[in-house]
Structure 1
Amino acid sequence: MDVLSDLLQRSRARGAAFSRTTMYGDWCVQFPVGGTLAIHSIIDGDLEAWTVDAPDASIRVIGGDLILLRSTPHLMASDATAPPQPLPDSGGSRSASAGNPGEGRQAQFFCGAYVFDGDLSKSLLDALPPIARIRPRAGSALRSTLDLLIAQVEVGGAGQQVLLDRLLDAVLVLALREWFAAAQSTPRWISALDDPALAPALQAIHTAPERTWTVATLAGLTHQSRSGFARRFTDTIGVPPLTYLADWRMSVAKEALRDTGDSIATIAASVGYSSEYSFATAFKRHTGQAPGRWRSIYAAAA
């Protein structure tokens, strides 16, 4: 399996949040920080979107557009000068509205959010800008899957949350594929996957995170000096080799905690830690929580 497929395979929603909102007139909605990634699909309207920490970097979004936002407070508005208000309360359903129908412009948008740490790979999140706009082509796989997700959000029935979670995953993969395919949007680490001076090391880390990798052994796989490899890796990917290794080990460990009943000791060994204590220390430093606590919180959230 290639590295990008590995990252995408480990991206999995569980208990994601969904809503469809209709707004009338002039308005501005502020979305609070929460989860790891949000998507907004503009069904109808001519709107502006921006993050709280970059109010001068707003983007225009219209019906048919899709935007991806990393976990950060952000706003969307039909009138950027209108006072910000919370997202209308859906009252327990997945649909809400605000304003008076027939008065002013109408806008509709759909929101889906990954709500739990561990649902998405840190490398994928880091590859995105704070706000990314995608315009799915009519008839494309992304457009069709997104339309199906929106249509299903108000449908009841057994297993509905699981279905919505998987559709959100599919939308994300297809959206990332379109985003990465745009030459001006390609993140630096994606180019490393085709770089013979880096790809063998990345493949080794992803294939065998349990091995005792050092900068020297990784450099040897690429036939470079230790210093030359470390410099090229850091310049291209944005973090030193062993930091990337540690982050990947934590991603693999989270998946095991989430999806298996393996003991902490077994998981620790599977990602290269010689003791449960050293793994727990590294995991808590990475996530702020002990592995067992993280697992129980995730299970409760699901």
Structure 2
Amino acid sequence: MQTLEFLTETPTMSAADAFTLSSDLINELLRGMRLRGVQYRRIQAGPTFGMGFGAKPGHAYFHFVAAGHVTLRGEDGDLFDLSAGNAVFIAHGGAHALLSDANAATHDIGDFDSAPLGDAVCAVDASPETVPSTLLFSACMEFELGSIQGLGNLMPALMLIDAGGQRYPGLMPILAVMEREVSTARIGFAGILARLADVVSAMIVRGWVECACGNASGLVAALRDPRLARALLALHQQPGRDWSVAELAAQCHTSRSVFADRFQAILGIPPLRYATELRMRLASQWLTLERMPIETVAQRLGYTSQAAFSRAFKRITGQPPGAARNSM
């Protein structure tokens, strides 16, 4: 990694200023996060159970242990103990199993009888012949990070979460509300669950960004660098502006060459390449999730013509914007 002469060219910044700047950037990034097709399960089990969850690329799994004890077996065979108040977030949809113990026989979660509780919510009894001693809240969803898709690629396969710990303040009450909504099944509870799932996922991503300094790299390191964060915030707030490297460097109060070198060293790509890829990630989200017309997307991203936008979109994504829209 290059020497950070960058620091000597930047005006002194207080800890409060750095926090505010990073907070603004993380706020901007998390606004683009979307969950789709969320499927919820309220799972109860007795003293012996084994539930397998198959790999689902492009999806994320979330399991919260409300009561009892669970052994999680990851895709690589590693075992983790989860007790009441613990949760796991599997950002890349890897295969895994939830077990009463490491030797329990495993059956696919889809093989268990389930009772619908409402739209996209069901109840599963994994041990119908015994008295339940374990209660789980489980969800599987398409995990769309929009403009921070690159951040998602850096996330670990398994994120073990102590919902009552200091890293995730306020998470436990939200999970308790989700469990109560599933249990009582009041009118409109599926819509409430969808909103709460957005909040839970955002809190997990935020907690990981805040505490990933031990192995910070790429976008994670940039998020934690208040000087690079100035340029990133400008790019994400004005993606349709025709930015130059000099203008981005000015946001950071440093020279063009020092900024470009620092950006490349931390994020692995030049600033203008990042800007183009950001536009195309936003375009994909607007086209597929928000169903915007191609012409509108092109205008919002600063392209002078739909044809110019289509060429850029195909160059970055490998397909024309019309094909991306029709694939949904």
Task: Compare 27-36 and 168-177 and name the one that shifted more.
Answer: 27-36
Deviation at 1:117, TM superposition (A): 4.4
Deviation at 1:87, TM superposition (A): 0.9
Q: Contact 1:19–1:111 (CA<8 Å) still a contact in 2?
A: yes
* Residue of structure 2 in register with 1:133 after alignment: 160
* Residue of structure 1 in register with 2:125 after alignment: 97
* Residue of structure 2 in register with 1:171 after alignment: 200
* Residue of structure 1 in register with 2:96 after alignment: 75
Deviation at 1:227, TM superposition (A): 5.2
Q: Contact 1:50–1:131 (CA<8 Å) still a contact in 2?
A: no
* Residue of structure 2 in register with 1:10 after alignment: 32
Provide closer, same or farther for how the CA distance between residues 217 and 144 of structure 1 changes in structure 2, counting only shifts above 3 A.
same
Deviation at 1:174, TM superposition (A): 2.4
Q: Contact 2:62–2:138 (CA<8 Å) still a contact in 1?
A: yes
Provide the alpha-carbon RMSD of the alignment: 3.4
Aligned to 2:173, what secondary structure does the other structure show?
Answer: helix
Provide closer, same or farther for how the CA distance between residues 118 and 284 of structure 1 changes in structure 2, counting only shifts above 3 A.
farther
Query: 2: CA distance between counterparts of 1:152 and 1:297?
Result: 33
Aligned to 1:115, what secondary structure does the other structure show?
Answer: strand
1:218 maps to amino acid: L
Aligned to 1:99, what secondary structure does the other structure show?
Answer: coil
Q: Contact 1:12–1:120 (CA<8 Å) still a contact in 2?
A: no
* Residue of structure 2 in register with 1:145 after alignment: 174
Q: In the alignment, does 2:222 pair up with 1:192?
A: yes
- Tell me the TM-score normalised to structure 1 length: 0.79
Deviation at 1:11, TM superposition (A): 1.4
Query: 1: CA distance between counterparts of 2:136 and 2:267?
Result: 34
Q: In the alignment, does 2:279 pair up with 1:257?
A: no
* Residue of structure 2 in register with 1:44 after alignment: 67
Query: 2: CA distance between counterparts of 1:239 and 1:46?
Result: 44
Deviation at 1:229, TM superposition (A): 3.0
Number of residue-to-residue matches in the alignment: 295
How big is each residue's C-alpha offset from its partner over 1:223-263, in whole Å with a ceiling of 9 and x where there is no partner?
55555434422332354434432332134324433565642
Percent sequence identity over matched residues?
Answer: 29
- Tell me the TM-score normalised to structure 2 length: 0.74
1:107 maps to amino acid: T
Query: 2: CA distance between counterparts of 1:123 and 1:184?
Result: 17
Aligned to 1:5, what secondary structure does the other structure show?
Answer: helix
Query: 2: CA distance between counterparts of 1:184 and 1:46?
Result: 30
Provide closer, same or farther for how the CA distance between residues 40 and 267 of structure 1 changes in structure 2, counting only shifts above 3 A.
same
* Residue of structure 2 in register with 1:229 after alignment: 259
Q: Contact 2:87–2:162 (CA<8 Å) still a contact in 1?
A: yes
How big is each residue's C-alpha offset from its partner over 1:205-237, in whole Å with a ceiling of 9 and x where there is no partner?
112111223445434543555554344223323
Please point out which of 256, 279, 287 is paired with 2:309.
Answer: 279
How big is each residue's C-alpha offset from its partner over 1:12-58, in whole Å with a ceiling of 9 and x where there is no partner?
32431111222331425233314432211112333333432x324x4
Aligned to 2:43, what secondary structure does the other structure show?
Answer: strand
Aligned to 2:276, what secondary structure does the other structure show?
Answer: helix
1:68 maps to amino acid: F
How big is each residue's C-alpha offset from its partner over 1:247-289, in whole Å with a ceiling of 9 and x where there is no partner?
3213432443356564211211212334324434544566666
* Residue of structure 1 in register with 2:8 after alignment: none
Task: Compare 70-79 and 177-186 and name the one that shifted more.
Answer: 177-186
Query: 2: CA distance between counterparts of 1:288 and 1:82?
Result: 45
Aligned to 1:108, what secondary structure does the other structure show?
Answer: strand
Deviation at 1:2, TM superposition (A): 1.9
Query: 2: CA distance between counterparts of 1:22 and 1:286?
Result: 46
Aligned to 2:70, what secondary structure does the other structure show?
Answer: strand
Please point out which of 34, 53, 73 is paired with 1:30.
Answer: 53
How big is each residue's C-alpha offset from its partner over 1:43-89, in whole Å with a ceiling of 9 and x where there is no partner?
2333333432x324x43222211111112322132333444421144
Query: 1: CA distance between counterparts of 2:64 and 2:125?
Result: 16
